[in-house]
Structure 1
Amino acid sequence: MAEPLQRLPGHERLKGLTEGVRIFGVRHLSPNGAHHLTAFLNEAQPTAVLVEGPSDASALIVQMASKGVVPPIALLAYTEDLPVRTLLYPLAEYSPEYQAFLWATRHGASCEFMDLPSGSALALHELKSVEDAGESEEERVSFLNDQNGLYERIAEIADEPDYEAYWERYFEHNGNPNAYRTAIVELSNQMRELTERDEIVYRPQEAAYNEIREAYMRKRIKDTIAAGHAPSRIVVVTGAFHVSALIGERQAMTDEEFAVLPTSSTRLTLMPYTYYKLSSRSGYGAGNRTPAYFQLFWECLQNGRLQELPKIYMSKLAASMRDKGTYRSTASVIEGVRMAEALAAMKKGKQPTWKDLHDAAVVCLGGGEVSVIADALARIDIGTSIGRLPEGVSQTPIQDDLNRELRRLKMEKYKSPVAQSLELDLRENRRVQSEEAAYLDLHRSVLLHRLELLDVGFARKLPVRQDAATWAEHWAMQWTPETEIRAVESTLKGETIEIAAAYVIHERLQSCEDIVKAAKLIRDACLCRLLDAMSEAQRMLQSLAVDTGNFEQIASAAFELSVLIRFSSIRRHETKSLLPLLRQLFLRGALSLNEAANCNHDAASSVVSAIQMMHAVAQEHYNEVNESLWIRELRQLASRDDRNPKLSGFSFAILLDRDEYSAEQIESEVSRRLSPGIPADLGAGWFEGLSMRNRYALLSRATLWEQLDGYIGSLEDEQFRRSLVYLRRAFAVFEPREKANVSDMLGELWGAGAEDASMMLQRPLTEEEKEKLDELNDFDFGDL
């Protein structure tokens, strides 16, 4: 990682040239840092403000500071090539960097980012990741433990429970501007001394990456001076860790050194963000645990009411609990504030930290139980706020298209980090006048299916409440920053949601190798209303169907087309062109049924599913497909002894549903299949298939149970034990009421009485019976 810097000579010294440049160290989410920085800028009146961030994004600063922008927001850099790699720079209203943008815009000062361009940062990140991957798990764990241990040691020395509490008490509550800046510089010096002295705490690849960044930032300072800005009129805003690296006699990167840095082609965009993603709880390393609390902190600072923060915080908690039906008295709120102030006094703090307020709230509002106030804490500490960007602010075309579609379809309210439910009725609404309004839910469905196809993650389809409600859709809606990132990544596939979705269909068709996937892509294209993609997928299916002989695949593809044709009127699609293809697939499936039934018991389950799908197609489209051929093939399978008995029994059950057999034929077939001497895997296997359909019809045929009882009684011990595996599977799917009916019938058959038989069969198992059952579970069923 450090090679580009190590091999290039001739670094320039900054001393003298940069003397007088104002360096202001910050934490990226620090309300007091933003407050002191604003006061410092008012005092220094710089002509140039340099802020840590990707230097190729400087043109976006004016837009981030424009009217109508509501933080939190984020600057996103992403590569132009797949796989997409991203870097994210989130900002809250109380981020010192964001306040620097606002100040520079108001005062007409030059404001630019000064860190590595996003292309170089992403390329170096990738190299660093490769080196990180070479570490052993033990080395990674050691690094993380040592790194966390460093912050824990700082908190321990300060007699604080953790580093967050330490930072808030000694930096956020530090009202002296000069003392704040001095403390930041001292913290930077000590942190660097600890990390640079111990490579276990700070890995070499991490050190090299930061060295390159800091050398480039020193170069940007030098370039700003060369552009005519006096050093004393330049303010540099950077993370506290980098402060000591940007002052003194350290070396600046040269143009030649910058030219040899690896780089990637990138694009930049802005996006709304959420407080949850700003929090360290989401995994954001530069975040804090309580972004909404620090927003409240910032507002109190701005209004000169910081001393009232404990009262406001505790009152908001109580109000949030009251909204959810849990009431707390004013006295409890007052006691909570007093306890927090007492806890702060024990640490010699000027006022309570969030940790003090949290502990006091648990005691005084939660009665000692965190769970009582957990929901209120989440709302007040983290919050559900989401940023907003006005029209005209730089975004990718696909972001603009998504926002336009959400407005057009009246779905902007669903762009929220709080999960919401959306139920759609795809039928025409005849109570409105315009066609757009009449099919509003249908248009919404098309957009949501397109986003689902793009894996944007904004909406997730749920099962509808009524199986028969083919016109209904139920979606779970939730916006997250990842939603916008994935939308941005889709820009590489097209400039609009529609074009990108069509590209995904086309891309998947290029790698499609079986008719099931092709049929599903036809259905996806239909749901997304992508007519050209639908035609392309149809041609692909026709091409693949020529060489396909797999019964399960043919049945699945035919079923997909059947569903599509069935719902075409609701989706307002013309699907007549699919009928010839459906007929072709159905014909091939029917003719391959008996061949597919020549399989073992493991494969039989998938064939059963395929038979069910083929039969559903035959029932739904009896005028379009050759139903008589299908019934003929089922009859043949039902009568054959050289095919899987489960499948023969299942086919027989389908034909029973259709009244294809007379009573004499049924009795003859049952007698033949369940007569003494038939091996267990054939007899019991056939009954398993038979019992998979219309069990009420089976329960009404006493002769069937008599035949089964006689057959089971005729089996030798080993064959009997073999039959149990089939019988257990068969009866496992029976409902309790059906099992009770079986026990009643068997009781009458055995002469034991229905009630006595039912009690005997439903009593708890004895230890001996449990042992026999365990033996059965371990029984070697040979080639079953």
Structure 2
Amino acid sequence: MSVSVLGVRHHGPGSARAVRRELERLRPDAILIEGPPEADALVGHAPGLEPPVALLAHVPGAPARAAFWPFAAFSPEWQAILYGTAAGIPVRFCDLPAAHSLAEDPDGDDGPDDPGASGGPDGPGGGDDADGSGGPGGGEGLLRVDPIGALAAAAGYDDPERWWEDVVEHRGDTPFEAIAEAMAAVREGHEPDAREARREAYMRKTLRATLKQGYGRIAVICGAWHVPALTGPLPPVTADNALLRGLPKVKAELTWVPWTYGRLASWSGYGAGITSPGWYHHLFEAPDRPVERWLAEAAAVLRDEGLAVSSAHVIESVRLADSLATLRGRPLAGLGEVTEAARAVLCEGDDLAVELIQRRMVVGDRLGHVGDGTPMVPLQRDLRDQQRRLKLKPEALDREIDLDLRKPLDLDRSHLLHRLRLLGVDWGTPGQARGKGTFRETWTLQWRPEYDLGLIEHAALGTTVVAAAARRAIDLAGGGTGAAEAVSLADLTSLVEQCLLADLPEALPGVLAALSAKAALDTDVTHLMAALPAMVRAHRYGDVRGTPAEGLAVIVRSMLDRICVGLPVAVTGLDDDAAADLLKHVDAVHSAVALLTDAPATTGAVVERADAPATTDAPASETAAGGVSPRSRWLVTLRGISDRQDLHGLIEGRLTRILLDAGELDDPAARMSRAMSRGQVPARAAAWVEGFLAGGGLLLVHDPRLLALVDGWLTGLSGDQFTDVLPLLRRTFGAFAAPERRAIGQRLRSAGRDEGAREQDVDERRAAAAVATVLSIIGKAAE
């Protein structure tokens, strides 16, 4: 019997090639790989997967407790799996089971600090901590010195990563025996912490069990740090059993999920991350002339962006990279050398071009793929079927799509993306649609590996995306949890809008019922005003998308009625900040009311202003047949409030402008004159001007009377008064568009010239007597 322990660097291209060659030479009967043993049944799916992929372990019912073990094409473990499955050799995982690692207390010294840290300590390089702990929370008894750093320093290197690449990755023939000896020397006297001790004890337990089953030649692929713990005289079986006795345990489920190269740079599973997965993939795929091939590909990337890069640039950059490697004593130019060469020659010092190479090539945009035969929850499988049907391929890089909702395919795409957002899977982020039509949407798509975990988390809600999203909406509304009191009115109105956007008619009755109950109990008019715009949009979406929303119009009318009743009280006694905040709600409600149809209400009394009968100030658009439109009801309320004397200047000015634009005021100049009279405090007058002109400055351009009133009030202020109101005026006029400010200035200049001309137009005959009198007073004779 023979056991060969191959110490590797996780995600090391040189180690991956060396492991494959060593396995072909050893021809083992069994292969043991560092990883959770619950995944043994998933090994057979590996040939049908497209890396990067990851093993996902999670606790049913508690998806937040999860861990990932990622694999790339250049991962030594992945190459060992492919070799074993192709040769018909049993491949088993030998690390501590996920059932134990996920059960550890996250707040204790022995538990994982994040979902990706449960893999624990591992080999050198690739982002491991200096003590080999593989992430934060390593516990006690750890080595205080980075083992690879110590070896690199002994070899005269100041960069442990560069030393490992030169000695191992760039050689092409990883010296496994030398690595084992080096790790044994570094670990001499090292006492592992509790987590590391348990993991290595379980590795030895698995190794003993494999030997006991009669396998004569066993190959173990693990992080180089663990090699000394698996070779030489092993501790007694009783000692390892004592370490593993009584470990906490949970039920863990595992599956394969797609991964991305961008996520390989983070801590996960093995506790090893790499910052340049695209570069390592290149080294693995191009073992001959890798520098030349890399820089030629970089030139192609720059050419695709319209940059002029010739073959001469490539030749000179290769020479520079080789020269830098020679000067630094490296056997092969590494990423640092090729990046410096690309910056100096290909990019000509342009940092943006270097960043493009970094994003496209050094990290890469590769997204893995798992086959249909891979174990999935029904929700994942349904999403995959819909992605295929709707021709929406998940990709790692951002991709922007424009949807025309009049087309059935685009409408279905929109429904799917909105449903996924309800499930917390933000594959698509909505953006500002191009054009003004309500039938257009713009989305930015980017798939992230953790979205699979989100689908698993909500798998209990339904077997399809539409069923799970509907159940999720009902639960959020409180219908399935009994926690409706904890949901705000704004949340419920937003949820109604999401249900309509996602086309979930089966969820709408429950959500609307919760909304109606919440709106009936909420006495804060600002809450109602904040909620109404979303409700009106939801009503409108139900029309343009063909989504039935029975009962929504009744709730909208009821909320508007209560707003009209409560607003006169809400505008009383406001300071500057409160007035500005309320004004935002007033503008939002006014814009929302404009989207409602003008069909008169059939139920309920007309809500009139508090201080005057409706027949006095009712807008001309009010019907005489016993009902009023939403717009009329709203304008009646604003008209009644605008006549009050206790309003904040900002509120009064804005209401005056709204009523003027709605055609409900015949002489706005009279109101402005009163607001700017000498009896008013200048600060209040300035606030009135700010509110009145908040809709834009064109009104002053086209109405000379209003412009003259503002100009006369402003020029009549004293120096101190002008200084006090200047910030408000600057904020008001600074919000105007540049053409509006220019037109106002031209109007004022023209008015000044006209006034000067009038002053010069004097009747000399009538003025002669007055001139003679003045001259006699001052003692001068008339000429």
1:287 aligns with 2:278: no
**Shift in alpha-carbon separation, 1:491–1:163, aligned structure 2, 3 A:** farther
TM-score, structure 1 normalization: 0.81
2:102 counterpart SS class: helix
- Aligned partner of 2:28 in structure 1 is 46
Matched, 1:622 2:626: no
- The 3-state SS of whatever aligns with 1:166 is helix
1:425 equivalent in structure 2: 404
Paired AA for residue 91 in structure 1: F
Residues 1:483 and 2:467 are matched in the alignment:
no
C-alpha displacement at 1:333, in angstroms?
A: 3.4
Q: Spell out the pairing of 1:97-496 with structure 2 (5 A cutoff).
A: 97-124=77-104, 126-128=106-108, 151-160=148-157, 162-176=159-173, 180-193=175-188, 196=190, 207-226=193-212, 228-230=213-215, 232-247=216-231, 248-252=233-237, 258-279=244-265, 286-300=272-286, 306-345=287-326, 350-367=331-348, 372-376=353-357, 378-412=359-393, 415-428=394-407, 439-466=408-435, 468-491=436-459, 493-496=461-464
Q: Which amino acid aligns with 2:444?
A: A
* Closer, same or farther: CA 106–514 of 1 in aligned 2, 3 Å: closer
Distance 1:349 1:102 in 2: 32
Residues 141 and 751 of structure 1: is their aligned pair in 2 closer, same or farther, counting only changes over 3 Å? farther
Q: Distance in 2 between matches of 1:338 and 1:729?
A: 60
Check if 1:657 corresponds to 2:661.
Answer: yes
Identity of aligned residues (%): 30
Equivalenced residue count is: 697
Partner Cα separation in structure 1 for residue 217 and residue 270 of structure 2: 34
Q: Which has the higher helix share?
A: 1
For 1:89, what is the secondary structure of its paired residue? Answer: strand
Task: Please give the alpha-carbon distance, in whole angstroms, between the structure 2 residues aligned to 1:390 and 1:643.
Answer: 67
Indicate conservation of the 8 Å contact 1:63/1:394, yes or no: no
Q: Is the 8 A contact 1:515 1:554 kept in 2?
A: yes
Q: Name the counterpart of 1:540.
A: 514
- Alignment partner, residue 578 of structure 2: 603
Q: Is the contact between residue 69 and residue 270 of structure 2 (CA under 8 Å) also seen in structure 1?
A: no
Residue 126 of structure 1 aligns to a residue whose secondary structure is coil
| Corresponding residue number in structure 1 for 2:740 | 738
The one-letter amino acid paired with 1:229 is: G
Q: Secondary structure at the match of 1:112?
A: strand
Please tell me the residue identity of whatever aligns with 2:704: A
Mark the CA change 1:156 to 1:533 in structure 2 (over 3 Å): closer, same or farther: same
Distance 1:284 1:210, change over 3 A: closer
SS at match of 2:506: helix
CA distance in 1, matches of 2:653, 2:172: 84
Q: Following TM superposition, by how much is the alpha carbon of 1:210 offset from its aligned partner in structure 2, in angstroms?
A: 0.7
Q: CA deviation at 1:640?
A: 0.5
Q: Which has the larger radius of gyration?
A: 2
* Equivalent residue number for residue 60 of structure 1: 42
Which blocks of at least 5 consecutive residues in structure 1 are unaligned?
1-18, 134-138, 198-205, 301-305, 429-438, 756-784
Aligned match for 1:636, one of 636, 640, 646: 640
Shift of 1:606: 2.6
Letter paired with 2:599: N
SS in 1 for 2:395: coil
Q: Which residue number corresponds to residue 691 of structure 2?
A: 689
Q: How does 1:67-82 map onto structure 2 within 5 Å? A: 68-82=48-62
The reply to whether residue 28 of structure 1 matches residue 5 of structure 2 is: no
**Given residue 584 of structure 2, which amino acid in structure 1 is its aligned partner?**
S
**From 578, 586, 593, the counterpart of 2:552:** 578
Q: 1:520 is matched with which residue?
A: 494
Deviation larger for 538-547 or 242-251: 242-251
Q: Could you tell me how far 1:23 is from its partner in structure 2?
A: 1.4
Aligned-residue RMSD, C-alpha: 3.4
Q: CA separation in 2, counterparts of 1:713 and 1:324?
A: 57
**1:236 Cα deviation from its structure 2 partner:** 1.5
- 1:86 counterpart (66, 71, 85): 66
Aligned partners of 2:501 and 2:541 also within 8 Å: no
Q: 1:117 to 1:387 in 2, by over 3 A?
A: same
- TM superposition shift of 1:576: 4.0
Corresponding residue of 1:5: none
Letter in 2 for 1:163: P
User: How far apart, in 2, do the equivalents of 1:360 and 1:738 lie?
Assistant: 53
Q: Which runs of 5+ in 2 are unaligned?
A: 114-130, 601-628, 758-783
Q: SS of the residue aligned with 2:103? A: helix
Deviation string 1:114-133 (CA, Å, 9 cap, x unpaired) is: 11111211233724468898
* Contact 2:57–2:253 (CA under 8 A) maintained in structure 1: yes
Pick closer, same or farther for the CA change 1:487–1:734 going to 2, 3 Å: same
8 Å Cα contact 1:276/1:282 also seen in 2 = no
